Amino acid sequence: MVPTEIKLHQVSGILEVLFEDGNGFKLSAEYLRVFSPSAEVKGHGPGQEVLQHGKKMVKIANLEAQGNYAIKITFSDGHDSGIYSWQYLYELGSQFESNWSTYLARLSAAKKSREPQFIAVG
């Protein structure tokens, strides 16, 4: 599946991806960040995933084409090691409801929050 159009809406932090089959998805920076395909997030095998939290305010800082098959996304928190293939973006879009509800349940079980943790400096 190949996208026909990719738009980054800077203010809302939404990446809009339209595919050749007519499907289109609006994916938030937070969603893309917590489901990054990087080893830092996914781990190096099953059961090694690292639960991402505190990413509600993250933004997309940069998009970079990776040949004709993917994009690399740099996020405002410095994360930049995920390569998002067209197929993976399509999966993220089509499986949003299931992915997001599972993610929220995992956050709750871990007593973590989508809100960033700010540390007061004295």
Domain spanning 3-109, CATH class: alpha beta
As a whole number of angstroms, the distance between CA 4 and CA 11 comes to 22
Buried b (16+ CB within 10 A) or exposed e, 31-40: bbbbbbbbee
Mean pLDDT for the stretch of residues 102-110: 96
Instruction: Indicate whether 119 pLDDT > 70.
Output: no
Instruction: Indicate whether 89 pLDDT > 90.
Output: yes
Mean of per-residue pLDDT scores for the chain: 92
Domain boundaries, the chain: 3-109
Mean pLDDT for the stretch of residues 68-83: 94
Please give the pLDDT value at position 54. Answer: 94
For 12-62, what is each residue's pLDDT tens digit?
989 999 999 999 999 999 999 999 999 888 878 777 889 999 999 999 999
